[in-house]
Chains A and B, each alone.
Chain A
């Protein structure tokens, strides 16, 4: 067992984990931050995406022990303290960028990373950046639209609702 400590959504946390404990398990089970989801076991669906030291990472493909000392941000840390949604989260709601909600936390975390790297992405850049996030409900139309809208671009010309 390994003692680990990290900062999660701005709060210092610590725990004791096995070598084989994945970061996503530590978040979901030890910290009860269940917004980070597990949708596959081959590191492809992206439902588990979180930020580690400022960049997006698949929490199902990183050992908790390897995240010792890291600064981690999850979907639970994306809204303001008073519950106000971030502009990106709000864009997902405004443009119906989610249905069942299961892939949504990973989509939001990936999209946030994109907009940090590339504040005004093109449609093609958005679609390419979502390569590691699978959604089965939306057909991506409204996810892409929401991300473009969150970047401040006019999406009124994109086929409507």
Chain B
């Protein structure tokens, strides 16, 4: 029976009302009295030396307040990188400076050269066009392998090469893996590209910097997934503003998908300029600007090899990946192809020996960082594609091959340094076979054939590590931040509750789901609990929302704080009821003495906490407010099995997704409606990657996909209704709610299902095709059918 409130209920989202009536408060809706506007003059060449910048004509144009160039930031720090990777040889990665405005060189199309602050946005743009910039254009490096050749132009002159790091994992296993390949009965090899994507939250980035001379306090309103992280990075490393003089507010944020995690130059600029000018400065990105200034995602080129014994058991796995960093290191870029990728290479399988090599490369392109899934989609894609290829080579059923190699005993320590706490991969595969109606595939195949269409079926599994992350572990791995989360539960005198969380909601529905947890624990109505987030002045220091961590980590902090509230409230109740604390029970918002009819209501206890007339003041402080920080002891490991059925038009190569089914194990579920919505969105992004999306550069480093005219976003007509199920549940063993992350799963698990299905469709038609690189656009599929 579905619940109608509390944990497990599909409570309707309370935030929807403001979004549905136009009453949301997004950053671009914020205007500070007297604000000026900034326009960034951006490089239109991918690589060049700045010979001169003459701003004199521009400075004289109407409305211009001031023009800034790299020189203005000479005394200011660069944008920091939050993760240091150590390479195969024990050396730290090469870490170039990342100035707020270009200094000396421009390194990608879109690199900001100058910033014009003016009274109106159009005046700022008019003046920016009047800046005379002389740039000596240099040869650009775009292709990663070419960038590593000895004579390649260097993106950063002060580095020894364009190699950021050469990472081996687990380096000690390298020889053993090689030996296993020597002994293998069968080896399947696949080379593939996990193409560059642009996250494209529908809200472009915005920053409004404000400054109060009265208090010497800076305020930044920004489209961020993690305002405290921005405050820390920008305050400590870029501008030198101590936290107590710097407030960062991320109000309603229109989607993030990773690209709003990072600290960007525009945020630092607006904060800096507002202090310089003692006037608020606003920047609103256009979509065109977003394409060349938001961090991109993915962009891996990989060779994967799978070794099997004569019984088709996986015996070893070896990968070599080139990972594009772009021109600078975005905030968490180095961690994505390493710790968020290599540690997932075991997948759902008991492959005993794994070696992952990653070469991270600088190129004259927009920086690349985490995008929904971040490293885990890349791992899943290559693994699930090579397994499919192996099954075809061996002539065995791809599902059977997977099942044969499933991990079945938990906890399970993988050869790539993580320990899966729970999972039941056969159960999710069983569920998938049911909900996807795999038994009915042959009939649908015949029906498609009758209409002249090629039908194909693709199935795959995925596992991911999310709910990041244990701070002491990630610290050893190079993280320069902790990855705990915080919550303050403030019970008000009349019993209503404000929960201040460090998590940030930009579509995930925290304002609805988090109260479900607190209300359930206390036995009160959800409407009595309000979530406060997105403002460093109102919430405890928290790390924000990414990596499917909000409920697993932020929710756990909230549970911890609520347990402290319950413990204290029971003490107060015991006093009011003149009973022993050990006898106090809390149920349905009533504190009662076990075995008696004596009770006191929640509201009476909370009132007593703040009007402590009858209160054990000698034993306890008044008030009812508790803060907790929760640092997870492990990742959570959601897993699942996905099935996709496609039709291919043999005349045009056009692929349509006819059916998509996802069976996920997310452990316990707080709000099934929201969880399904998260899966739907992830699936659309994964299917989008498989069929439509891709950022492309020409050989000179010009972005060919700089708007929605050329970057294909998934539309409603590109997608089917999905069948999703999360009834298979193996609760997480190490967080108090037993929950696993669900935000990225869909994007991680779906691309291989689509590609497997297209390859299947073409092979059934007799085409000798083993792989097509994403996106599987009509022209690419048609070319593959022509043998190109």
Contacts and interface: CB of A to CB of B under 8 A. Distances in A.
A and B touch in the complex (CB under 8 A): yes
Contact of B677 (A75, A76, A142, A159): A142
Contacts of B716: 126-128, 130-131, 133, 135, 140, 143-144
Nearest to B715: A131
Contacts of A11: none
Instruction: Give the residue among A28, A99, A130 with the most B Cβ atoms within 10 A.
Output: A99
A38 B26 CA distance: 11
Interface string A110-125: 0000000000000110
B673 A139 contact: no
B201 interface: yes
A96 B673 contact: yes
A75 B287 contact: no
Instruction: Give the residue among B204, B683, B722 with the most A Cβ atoms within 10 A.
Output: B204
Nearest to A40: B287
A158 B22 contact: no
B253 A20 contact: no
Interface string B684-726: 1100000000000000000000011100011111010111100
By size class, the interface of chain B is: 35 or more
Instruction: Give the residue among B19, B254, B680 with the most A Cβ atoms within 10 A.
Output: B19
Contact of B16 (A44, A93, A128, A133): A93
Contacts of A135: 202, 716
B674 interface: yes
A92 B22 CA distance: 14
Given A123-B721, A136-B685, A100 B20 contact: no
Given A37-B203, A76-B21, A137 B722 contact: no
B722 A139 contact: yes
A138 B681 contact: yes
A161 B676 CA distance: 6
Contacts of B506: 100
Contacts of A44: 708-709, 713
B24 A101 contact: yes
A90 B764 CA distance: 46
B677 to A, nearest CB: 5
Interface residues of A, number: 60
A140 B673 contact: no
A104 B12 CA distance: 16
A24 to B, nearest CB: 11
A127 B656 CA distance: 14
B708 A99 contact: no
B263 to A, nearest CB: 21
Interface in B7-65: 10, 12-13, 15-24, 26, 28-29
Contact of A102 (B202, B672, B714): B202
A128 B13 contact: no
A137 B255 contact: yes
Contacts of B17: 85, 93
B707 A93 contact: no
Contacts of B202: 37, 39, 45, 47, 100, 102-103, 134-137
A161 B286 CA distance: 34
A89 B255 contact: no
Contact of B21 (A41, A89, A99, A138): A89
Contacts of B22: 33-36, 74-76, 78, 105
A141 interface: yes
B26 to A, nearest CB: 7
B139 interface: no
A130 B716 CA distance: 6
A137 B721 contact: no
Contact of A41 (B122, B200, B287, B509): B287
Interface string B658-680: 00000000000000111111001
B722 A159 contact: yes
Interface in B277-320: 286-288
B254 A102 contact: yes
B721 A101 contact: no
A115 B722 CA distance: 24
Contacts of A108: 20
Given A75-B21, A76-B21, A134-B715, A93 B13 contact: yes
A66 interface: no
B253 A100 contact: yes
Interface in B724-746: 724, 746
Contacts of B252: 100-101
Contacts of B681: 99, 136-139
Contacts of A74: 22
Nearest to B200: A136
Interface in A5-63: 20, 28, 33-42, 44-45, 47
Given A40-B287, A41-B287, A130-B715, A102 B16 contact: no
A98 interface: yes
Contacts of B672: 161
Instruction: Give the residue among B22, B508, B685, B707 with the most A Cβ atoms within 10 A.
Output: B22
Given A93-B17, A100-B201, A159-B722, A138 B717 contact: no
A141 B455 CA distance: 22
B508 A99 contact: yes
Contacts of A100: 19, 201-203, 252-255, 506-507
A99 B721 contact: no
Interface in B161-205: 200-204
B203 A39 contact: yes
A39 B254 CA distance: 10
A39 to B, nearest CB: 5
A69 B200 CA distance: 36
B257 interface: yes
A101 B16 contact: yes
A118 to B, nearest CB: 15
B19 A101 contact: yes
A127 B684 CA distance: 14
A38 B288 CA distance: 12
A45 B708 contact: yes
Interface in B342-390: none
A114 to B, nearest CB: 11
A102 B509 contact: no
A54 to B, nearest CB: 19
Instruction: Give the residue among A35, A103, A105 with the most B Cβ atoms within 10 A.
Output: A35
B680 A138 contact: yes
B623 to A, nearest CB: 35
A89 B508 CA distance: 19
B21 A79 contact: yes
Contacts of B23: 35, 76
B722 A141 contact: yes
A-B CB proximity, top 10 nearest: A35-B22, A101-B19, A102-B254, A139-B684, A100-B507, A99-B507, A139-B680, A75-B22, A40-B287, A130-B716
Given A89-B21, A134-B715, A142-B680, 5 more contacts: A41-B287, A45-B202, A85-B20, A93-B13, A103-B254
27 contacts: A34-B26, A34-B28, A37-B26, A37-B254, A39-B254, A42-B707, A45-B708, A76-B21, A76-B23, A96-B676, A100-B202, A100-B506, A101-B16, A101-B254, A102-B203, A103-B202, A104-B19, A128-B716, A128-B717, A134-B713, A134-B715, A138-B680, A140-B715, A140-B719, A160-B676, A161-B10, A161-B675
Interface of A: 20, 28, 33-42, 44-45, 47, 74-76, 78-79, 83, 85, 89, 92-94, 96, 98-105, 108, 123-124, 126-128, 130-131, 133-145, 158-161
